Amino acid sequence: MPKTERYVPVKGNTEIVKTSEKMYIVLFIMLALLSGWIGLLIDMVLPEQLEEQTLGMGIWLVLPFLCGIAIRAFRKDWKDLGIKPRFKQNVKWFGLAILFFPAITLLFTLLAWILGLVSFSSFSAASIIPSIASMFIALIIKNIFEDFAWQGYLTPKLAAVKINDFKLYLIVGLVWAFWHAPYYLYFLPDSMYSTPLDRILDALVKSPIIITIWAVIFVEMTRITRSVWPAVLMHTFEDLIPNFLILEEKIIEFKGVGNILFNPLTGIIPLAACLAFGLWLRRKRIDRDELLI
C-alpha cells in the first residue's frame, strides 16, 4: 500500500503572508497617527464649530476604526475582530473589566484621604449620578470606535505575526498615545491647561507613559476573552469614574505628593497596580492557552 504523503506548509508562503500582514499593519498605524492632523486641517477650514464637537474631532475618532474595517473588508478577514462578547465563558472577566477602574479609584482615594493628601469639593449625589448615567451610552459609542481600532484590529494583527508580547504592548500603547497627541495639543479647550507647556507634557511625556501601561491591561483583557467588549466597558468605566470625578468635575483633588503617588489616573502606585494587573492577566492567558494545547 503506497504511503500517504503528509502536507508540509511551505515556509516561503508563510513568510509572504506575514510580510503582507505587516504591510497592512504599517498602513493602519500611519493612517491612525495622521487622523487627528487630518481632522485639525478640516477644522482650520471650518472654524465656526462647537468646542469639542467639531468635524475634525469626529474624523480623529473614527478614522482608525474605519481604516481597520476597510482593511478587513478588502482582505475578507473577519476572524479575529473580537465582535462576539462570549458572555458564557467571560462572565468573571466582564466583571473585572467593569470594576477595575472604579476599584482603583476608591482604593487610592481612600489611602490618600487617610494620609490627608486629598480633598473633596462639595457635590450632590442627586445630580452626579444622573450625569454619569446620561454619559454612559455616549461613552460606549465613543469607545466602540476607539477600542475596536486598537483591540479589534491592531492587537490581533500584531499577535498574528507572532510579535513578542512586550513589543506588542509597546506598539499598541505608543500608537494609542500618539494618536491622542492632536487631542491634547489642539482639540482640548485652553481651560483644561494652565500653560502651553502642560499641553506638550501631556501629549509627549505623560500620555505615552500612562497609555502604554494601560495598554497591557487592554491588550490582555482582549486576548484572554477573545472579545473587544470587555475593553470597551473597562474604558467606559474609566471615563465615567476617575476621569469624570478627577479631571472633568474636579470633585476629587489630590494634593502635592498625593497627586504623584495616589492619583488613580496618573499616580505612580496606581500605575504600578495597573501594570501588575495586566501582567497577571497575561499569566492567566498563557496558562489557559497551555491547557488547550
Q: Is residue 2 part of a domain?
A: no
Q: Is residue 17 part of a domain?
A: yes
Query: What is the torsion angle, in degrees rounded to the nearest 10, for the CA atoms of residue 223, residue 229, residue 235 and residue 237?
Result: -130
pLDDT computed for residue 3 by the predictor: 52
Interatomic CA distance for residues 246 and 254, integer angstroms: 9
Per residue of the chain (293 residues), give pLDDT as tens.
455 444 444 456 677 878 999 999 999 999 999 999 999 999 999 988 887 789 999 999 999 999 999 999 999 999 999 999 999 999 999 999 999 999 999 999 999 999 999 999 987 777 888 888 899 999 999 999 999 999 999 999 999 999 999 999 999 999 999 999 999 999 998 888 889 999 999 999 999 999 999 999 999 999 999 999 999 999 999 999 999 999 999 999 999 999 999 999 999 999 999 999 999 999 999 999 888 76
Interatomic CA distance for residues 217 and 85, integer angstroms: 17
Q: Is residue 116 part of a domain?
A: yes
pLDDT computed for residue 6 by the predictor: 47
Q: Is residue 21 part of a domain?
A: yes
pLDDT computed for residue 238 by the predictor: 98
pLDDT computed for residue 11 by the predictor: 56
Please say whether the beta carbons of 218 and 234 come within 8 A. yes
Spell 103-138 as b/e; 16+ CB within 10 A means b: ebbeebbebbbeeebbeeeeeeeeeeeeebeebeee
Cell of 232: 470597551
Number of domains in the chain: 1
Q: Is residue 3 part of a domain?
A: no
Q: Is residue 1 part of a domain?
A: no
Residue 105 to residues 76, 109, 216, 271, Cα–Cα distance (Å): 42, 6, 19, 12
- DSSP result, the chain: -PPPPPP---HHHHHHHHHHHHHHHHHHHHHHHHHHHHHHHHHHHS----TT--HHHHHHHHHHHHHHHHHHHHHT--TT------HHHHHHHHHHHHHHHHHHHHHHHHHHHHTT-EEE----HHHHHHHHHHHHHHHHHHHHHHHHHIIIIIHHHHHHTT--HHHHHHHHHHHHHHHTHHIIIIIS-GGG-SSHHHHHHIIIIIHHHHHHHHHHHHHHHHHHHT-SHHHHHHHHHHIIIIIIIIIIS--EEE-THHHHHH-TTT-HHHHHHHHHHHHHHHHHHHHHHHHH-
Q: Is residue 264 part of a domain?
A: yes
Q: Is residue 59 part of a domain?
A: yes
Residue (of 174, 268, 155) closest to 219 by Cα position: 155
Q: Which domain holds residue 260?
A: 11-292
Strands 118-120 and 252-254: antiparallel
Question: What are the residues facing 120 on neighbouring strands?
Answer: 252
